Amino acid sequence: MADENVRDGNAAEGIDRAARALALSSRTVVLTGAGISKESGIPTFRDLDGIWTKYRAEELASREGFLSNPALVWNWYMERRTAARAAQPNSGHRALARLETLLPVFLLVTQNVDNLHLRAGNREIVELHGNIERYRCFECGKPSREDDSWSKGPPRCACGGLIRPNIVWFGEPLPAAELECSYRETQRCDALLIVGTSGIVHPAAMLPSVARQSGAFLIEVNVDPSGITPIVDVFLAGKAGKVLPGLVRRVEEFLAG
């Protein structure tokens, strides 16, 4: 279904079709993945230089991995947290923050845990995979706040359990309210904009099909075709930081009449 000719993010026709659909949309959902943060210096997971090509997900992103070496897992997330804090939102994040201010009902569903959408200015955000700045007890589930004792390594909850990052690990369910909200809004959106995700991690990867079945217009921005590309209406090839500002400018032009 994707327009195979639209291989360049500047391709005017693809940008026009996508921008028109967004400008006409009463309810819009944006789904983002690691690709949007790559230009901020945060690695993706499955590109050649991606996280899961260097590290083992079973060791670092599973309950079993945490139990067998809590310090290793804790320190790895603290390093990722430091990198996320040092990173700055890029022009792709900023364009999506601008888009939120232009459209009537808008929801940004992200698989990212890096806070860059919030820091760029988006307010209607659902974090499907958690957030690197939040923590909870591995045993009792109680949310936890950072304090001075945390410099010493994996901290403990008042119940004695280890504190873990509030990030979804492999084999774990997604947070129910966030998942429900994402599905509900995707089912009734007019346009779904998908940015920088490989579309292979479920259930987030189901959202484009949900939108497709409900008759929404699907737009994808990615440097390469993904598992989602065959069902989108417009595929805009290129870096998010390059494609999104032009797309959002065009939405503004359509809205200005």
Q: Does 144 bind ligand OAD (CB under 6 A)?
A: no
Alpha helices in 9-162 (DSSP H): 12-24, 35-38, 51-54, 57-60, 63-68, 70-86, 91-102, 116-120
Alpha-carbon distance 50 to 35, whole Å? 10
Q: Choose, by CB under 6 A, the member of 2, 22, 31, 34 that binds ligand OAD.
A: 34
- Identify which of residues 106 and 235 has a Cβ nearer to ligand OAD in the complex: 235
CB 230 within 8 A of CB 185: no
Amino acid at 197: T
Among 197, 218, 232, 245, binds ligand OAD (CB under 6 A): 197
Tell which one of 129, 136, 164, 212 touches ligand OAD (CB under 6 A).
Answer: 129
Q: Which ranges of the chain would DSSP assign to H, the alpha helix?
A: 12-24, 35-38, 51-54, 57-60, 63-68, 70-86, 91-102, 116-120, 176-187, 207-213, 240-256
Point out the catalytic residue in the list 93, 117, 129, 202.
129
Respond yes or no: is residue 117 known to be catalytic: no
Q: Which of 14, 35, 154, 165 binds ligand OAD (CB under 6 A)?
A: 35
Q: Is 245 a binder of ligand OAD (CB under 6 A)?
A: no
Q: Do the strands 130-137 and 143-144 form a parallel or antiparallel pair, or are they unpaired?
A: antiparallel
Instruction: Decide if residue 246 touches ligand OAD (CB under 6 A).
Output: no
Using the contact rule CB under 6 A, the part of the chain among 17-25, 38-46, 118-126, 207-215 near ligand OAD is: 38-46
Residue ranges in 152-191 that form contacts with ligand OAD under rule CB under 6 A: 168
Residue 47 makes contact with ligand OAD by CB under 6 A? yes
Q: Which of these ranges, 10-18, 185-193, 195-203, 207-215, lies near ligand OAD under the rule CB under 6 A?
A: 195-203
Does 50 interact with ligand OAD (rule: CB under 6 A)? yes
Strand order of the β-sheet with 130-137 is 143-144, 130-137, 163-167
The residue to which tokens 């026009």 are assigned: 16
The CA angle 109-110-111, to the nearest 5 degrees, is 135
Q: Say whether 89 sits in a helix, a strand or coil.
A: coil
Q: Which residue is nearest to ligand OAD (CB)?
A: 35
Q: Just list the catalytic residues.
A: 129
Binding site for ligand OAD (CB under 6 A): 33-35, 38-39, 44-47, 50, 61, 111, 129, 168, 196-198, 201, 221-224, 226, 239-240
